[in-house]
Chains A and B, each alone.
Chain A
Amino acid sequence: FPVAPEEAEDEGKTLQLVENYLQNFYNLQKDHQPHLRNKDENPLAAKLKEMQAFFGLEVTGKPDLDTLEIMKKPRCGIPDIGQYV
């Protein structure tokens, strides 16, 4: 069935939350193309897996409930990986 509008909006919000989080803390490049099916794994899914592995979550590559719960927690602004200069 077509997704009901507010579900679509929720989905949009979720994607925004996930993208922001991975850009801020997992070095996801802003210009990634999350919706293009290229031969490599979707960079967003790859970064999501990295974040899930760091927090000891089940590594699904999908923004499941446990993952979103962690992303909503107040935290330090320093990235979890990579250089912060």
Chain B
Amino acid sequence: FTAGNPKWKRNNLTYRILNYTPKMRQADVDKAIQKALSVWSNVTPLTFRKVEDKEADIMISFAYRDHQDNSPFDGPNGQLAHAFQPGEGIGGDVHLDEEEAWTKDGRGYNLFIVIAHELGHSLGLSHSNDPGALMYPTYSYTDPNEFLLPQDDIDGIQAIYGQSNDAVQPTGPITPQACDPNLTFDAITTLRGEKIFFKGRYMLRKHPARTETELNFISLFWPKLPSGIQAAYENVERDEVLLFKEDKYWVLRGYDIAPGYPKPIYRLGFPKTVKRVNAAYNDETTGKTYFFTADRYWRYDENKKSMDHGYPKKIVSKFGKIGRVDAAFQKDGYVYFFRGTTQFQFDPHTKRIVRQMKSISWFNC
């Protein structure tokens, strides 16, 4: 919260767009601002009405360097924008640095994301130290079509203005904590010696030489990848990682997404009845890749680039009682299967589960 807990005394607020950046179509700027306002009106009783030619509560403008508010902008990058807490005059106003590369997608700086953050200040919120929060101080891109206001921000704004008038209260994503015993994973893969754990729009990155686990948005490294990756595996020989979501897959070559992706999973030999892949790992010794869907598994020959015959087979027939698999990866000859908060260490030679651990056992908790 902002010191002194400033808040608007009314719920029906007005806004005005004083000028436009030449870097975007006006219609796209209008749309970004409307979407940013709805981020907050969707979770509170607040409403926003656009006015054209008079003083509004929230005046939105693009400005250069010193623009007479004692807080000059600093040119491209660095400080992208700022806004003032609720109040008369300049209170509530949003200023955007005209020298930034404003866009409506993942290039440059996404105007919707930045304005939504600044409007949080206009309504009385200060910065949050939750790295997944919209009110976190540093910029990070999220596809506007996938944007959901995180729970941290919902809690903050509702503490000021109360809950939404909707019968069903909106909720938002929570930022994963590496040592949360209830943490489960969407997918896991190795990547050049590191381990990458996918969870929603986040990836937890574990480098063997660092004790702490790094949390990042998937979009930080791969803006073109969607959130909610469902399966992933590394083909060490080809220095590739394959990532799956629904009926599509992407290939990372090194650290970059290879051109021409996503492609349908059916190119790998899955029948149309398969709609998604839950987990996958590549067996370095045999060069075979194992895919897990529902209670069955498939085997793909990386050299022949085709699915082996006689599949799918029941998971239990080869891997024992591990049930359905959320995520899997192979390390030092063992295969690690994750289901919910449980992890099984499987020895493919003896075909036995040799250990059962917590899902977060890799994070030095």
**Residues of chain A at the chain B interface (Cβ within 8 Å):** 24-25, 54-56, 70, 73-78, 80, 82-85
Contact = CB atoms under 8 A, between A and B. Distances in A.
Interface stretch (B47-55, B79-87, B335-343): B79-87
Interface residues of B, number: 27
B81 A77 contact: yes
A77 B137 CA distance: 8
Contact of A54 (B3, B121, B129): B129
A77 B3 contact: no
Nearest to A25: B137
B359 to A, nearest CB: 22
A78 B69 CA distance: 13
Closest 3 CB pairs of A and B: A77-B82, A77-B79, A73-B138
A85 B127 CA distance: 15
B78 interface: yes
Contacts of A76: 79-82, 114, 117-118, 121, 127, 137-139
A85 B84 CA distance: 7
Contacts of B129: 54-56
A84 B109 contact: no
B61 interface: no
B336 to A, nearest CB: 27
Contacts of B97: 77
B80 A74 contact: yes
Contact of B73 (A25, A70, A77): A77
Given A78-B82, A78-B127, A83 B138 contact: no
26 contacts: A24-B79, A25-B137, A55-B129, A73-B138, A74-B139, A75-B78, A75-B137, A75-B139, A76-B79, A76-B81, A76-B114, A76-B121, A76-B127, A77-B73, A77-B79, A77-B82, A78-B121, A80-B126, A80-B137, A83-B4, A84-B2, A84-B84, A84-B85, A84-B126, A85-B84, A85-B85
A75 B71 CA distance: 14
Contacts of A74: 77-80, 109, 138-139
